[in-house]
């Protein structure tokens, strides 16, 4: 195992990961406040301070342990969720959709911005591999968070979006899965089902759309 290479990879991914989880969670809190729930605001969670969103086990210990144990072949982690009292939203079932979408939406915007930064560095003649790799890492991290969080099973954002879209009886049935959802998703991740049938296809489609969206900028710069 090349520990020097692993340490360099961790350094490249550190800033994109911190930005990705911080803005993701803050976006949930901001959207909740906008739609009537001040819980996250009162607890100081609508902030870009990453320390407020880092879970020592899920954000640091688990990803590092898995990375070193599998030589980078398998990685999984999570941030400290922003508390949202959906009952305090002005229109709970409808507003839940927008609050849930805010996190993945923030990751999609960040993915676009990292690609723009990469284009600008290449156009400016920047040849430092560390910074170019960081831009690529920023795109990858945010694509993963965008696609993974949209998986349609509570407590992931996609599950909450689906709860908000379904008729009431079906929504109540799906919401009952939430206490077990994390373990179900983890099992699906380990088995490879999430990666092959959901994560990679959605990431590829999203990356293609970002490339298409930014094609005018690429044409102007290159």
Q: Which of 25, 127, 128, 178 is catalytic?
A: 25
Q: Which two tokens stand for residue 99?
A: 């609050």
Longest pairwise C-alpha distance within the chain: 58
111, 145 contact by CB (below 8 A): no
Rounded to an integer, what is the distance from CA 54 to the centroid of its chain?
13
Neighbours of 24 (CB within 10 A): 24
**Of 53, 73, 52, nearest to 63 (Cα)?**
73
- Picking from 63, 136, 142, 52, the residue whose alpha carbon sits closest to that of residue 106 is 142
CA distance 207 to 222: 19
Residues 6+ apart with CB under 8 A from 39: 32, 83, 84, 85, 88
Closest alpha carbon to 31 in 87, 91, 84 = 84
Q: Alpha carbon 2 to chain centroid distance?
A: 28
Of 112, 126, 185, 197, whose CA–CA distance to 155 is shortest? 185
25 catalytic? Reply is: yes
List residues with catalytic annotation: 25
């Amino acid at each position: 195992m090349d520990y020097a290479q692993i340490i360099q990879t961790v350094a490249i991914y550190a800033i994109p990961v911190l930005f990705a989880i911080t803005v993701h969670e803050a976006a949930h809190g901001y959207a909740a406040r906008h739609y009537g729930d001040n819980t996250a605001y009162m607890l100081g969670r609508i902030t870009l301070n990453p320390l407020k969103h880092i879970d020592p086990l899920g954000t640091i210990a688990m990803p590092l342990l898995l990375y070193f144990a599998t030589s980078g072949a398998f990685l999984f982690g999570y941030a400290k969720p922003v508390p949202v009292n959906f009952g305090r939203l002005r229109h709970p079932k409808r507003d839940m959709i927008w609050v849930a979408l805010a996190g993945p939406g923030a990751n999609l915007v960040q993915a676009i911005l990292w690609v723009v930064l990469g284009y600008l560095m290449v156009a400016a003649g920047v040849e430092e591999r560390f910074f170019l790799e960081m831009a690529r890492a920023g795109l990858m991290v945010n694509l993963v968070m965008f696609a993974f969080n949209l998986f349609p099973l509570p407590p992931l954002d996609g599950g909450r979006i689906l709860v908000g879209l379904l008729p009431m009886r079906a929504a109540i049935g799906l919401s009952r899965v939430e206490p077990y959802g994390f373990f179900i998703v983890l099992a699906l991740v380990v088995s490879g089902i999430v990666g092959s049938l959901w994560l990679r296809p959605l990431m590829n489609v999203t990356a293609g759309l970002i490339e298409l969206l930014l094609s005018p900028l690429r044409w102007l710069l290159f």
